[in-house]
Amino acid sequence: MQNPVRSIVALYRDAFGGLPALTWLLCTAAFINRAGSMVVPFLGLYLKDHFGFTATEAGFVIGLYGIGAFFGSWIGGKLTDRMGAVHLQIAALGSSAVWMLLMTQITNAWLLTAAVFILGICNDAFRPGSNTAAATSCPPELRRKALSLNRLALNLGWSFGPTIGGYLVQIDFRLMFVVDGATCGLAALWLWKALRGWNPKPPPRATTSATGEALDPHHGQPMRDRHFLWLMAANLVVLIAFMQYFTTGSRVFEESGYSKSQVGWFLALNPIMITLFEMPIVHALRGRSALPIVAWGSLIVGLGYLCLLLPFGWIAISLAMIVVAGGELLQMPMLGAYVNDHAPDHARGAYNGAYAMSFCLALVLAPVLGGALYDYAGATALWVACAGGGIVGALGFLLAGRGAPAEPGAH
């Protein structure tokens, strides 16, 4: 009989093995960047404590960050295909570092609101370059694993950022801008030094298919790809629900009697779960069709929010964070890998940019819709709506899968 401990060790070893050193170097930059992430999760509390914003007003400002991030993702995707994925990341990270340090000097609410919009542009221009670089740093058969490692690095960093931020903001909210900006600068320096000039650019756009047929001149334009747009619509619905845990949710938890440091720990449960389990699960599901798994993940995200209706205080919150994370680790890495497999080589940056735009649009809508629903209908209505979003998104992914082309190697 096989030793279960050895089986688990072998699973983790196989899950992390096989990737080139280049992928690890890229993912290290993602970790450094995200390890200081604390401005976004605590922005709502900053607006409340320093400027007296209501949940709805704070939601609109955070939504403005999302609008900036939406444009940043579009710009980042376009520039990735022109200047290369690594150079794009260095430029975006350096801009974020400088801008966050400047934000420590802002004391006017209107100026801060405008600064939040610009911060969104700088921060999310990084995302398409990060995903594209990870996807192109290894052979196609290792793409799921590379993108999962990149997500793991981001989530591992996220487990540090909000947790540390929960203590720093109790001393001075400006410290979150200083630390977040410093880690952006360190990540840019790491990419510049560690990759030694590696900055692959995509091949030119193909004009004929493998069989010699002329391709549609719009081939490779994600906004004209109906299958891709359907996937992004379903993803948007799920993300609006998913993002409530760190947008409106942080305020709900604090107003339920939990301290800022406790809220930081609640937020950290999600990335801890992703760090521990995503790579082994993605490895175990290799060769499986992506979209059915994405649909299951979306459903589990929705069901996780129903746990917040249980009358068990911090235990219910912790359980909800764990279940929501379980859905995330099925949905998001599989969908990200599917998008990169679906995208033409010459337009992978554009597709990653458009994919990131669905996250940014959700970040616009999630705090606005969640904040308003919480203000006018209460927490119970908010959590039930989140469950509904997960269910609707799951149905959308299942329908998308019916008309999807067969995935290479899937069964």
Q: What is the value of pTM for the model shown?
A: 0.78
**Residue 115: φ, ψ to 5°:** -65, -35
- Give the C-alpha separation, 357 to 214, whole Å: 30
218 within some domain: no
**Is the Cα torsion angle 161, 163, 168, 174 positive or negative in sign?**
positive
Position 209 scores a pLDDT of 46
Q: Which of 8-17, 286-295, 354-363, 390-399 has the lowest mean pLDDT?
A: 8-17
Q: Residue 220: what pLDDT?
A: 67
As a three-state string, the secondary structure of the chain is CCCHHHHHHHHHHHHHCCCCHHHHHHHHHHHHHHCCCCHHHHHHHHHHHHHCCCHHHHHHHHHHHHHHHHHHHHHHHHHHHHHCHHHHHHHHHHHHHHHHHHHCCCCCHHHHHHHHHHHHHHHHCHHHHHHHHHHHCCCHHHHHHHHHHHHHHHHHHHHHHHHHHHHHHHHCCHHHHHHHHHHHHHHHHHHHHHCCCCCCCCCCCCCECCCCCECCCCCCCHHHCHHHHHHHHHHHHHHHHHHHHCCHHHHHHHHCCCCHHHHHHHHHHHHHHHHHHHHHHHHHCCCCCHHHHHHHHHHHHHHHHHHHHCCCCHHHHHHHHHHHHHHHHHHHHHHHHHHHHHCCHHHHHHHHHHHHHHHHHHHHHHHHHHHHHHHHHCHHHHHHHHHHHHHHHHHHHHHHHHCCCCCCCCC
Q: Is the pLDDT of residue 297 over 90?
A: yes
Whether residue 290 lies inside any domain: the answer is yes
Mean pLDDT of the chain: 85
pLDDT tens for 381-398 read: 999 999 999 999 999 999
Residue 270 or residue 330, greater confidence: 330
CATH number at residue 152: 1.20.1250.20
pLDDT at 233: 95
The pair of structure tokens assigned to 276 is 């521990």
Select from 237, 208, 229, 218 the least CA-distant residue to 339. Answer: 229
Question: Does 216 map to a domain?
Answer: no
pLDDT value of residue 341: 86
Residue 5 domain-assigned (yes or no): no
pLDDT tens column, 56-102: 788 788 878 888 988 999 999 889 888 888 999 999 999 999 999 99
Alpha-carbon span 191 to 197, nearest angstrom:
9
Residue 395 lies in a domain: yes
Looking at per-residue pLDDT, the higher value among 287 and 115 belongs to: 115
Q: How far apart, in whole angstroms, are the C-alpha atoms of residue 213 and residue 208?
A: 5
**Tally of structural domains, the chain:** 1
For residues 39-50, average pLDDT: 83
| Cα-to-chain-centroid distance, residue 253 | 22
Q: Is the pLDDT higher at 296 or at 256?
A: 296
**Ramachandran bin of 18, using left for φ above 0, alpha for ψ from -120 to 50, beta for the remaining angles:** left
Residue 258 lies in a domain: yes
Joined together, the tokens standing for residue 128 give: 């398409």
Instruction: Report the pLDDT averaged over residues 174-191.
Output: 93
29 pLDDT higher than 80? yes
276 within 8 A of 285, measured Cβ to Cβ: no
Predicted local confidence at residue 18, as pLDDT: 85
State residue 211's pLDDT score: 47
Residue-range definition of the domain harbouring residue 342:
19-198+225-402
Query: Could you tell me if residue 140 is inside a domain?
Result: yes
Q: How confident is the model at residue 403 (pLDDT cuts 50, 70, 90)?
A: low
Assess if residue 274 is contained within a domain. yes
- Average pLDDT (343-364) is 85
pLDDT at 244 over 80: yes
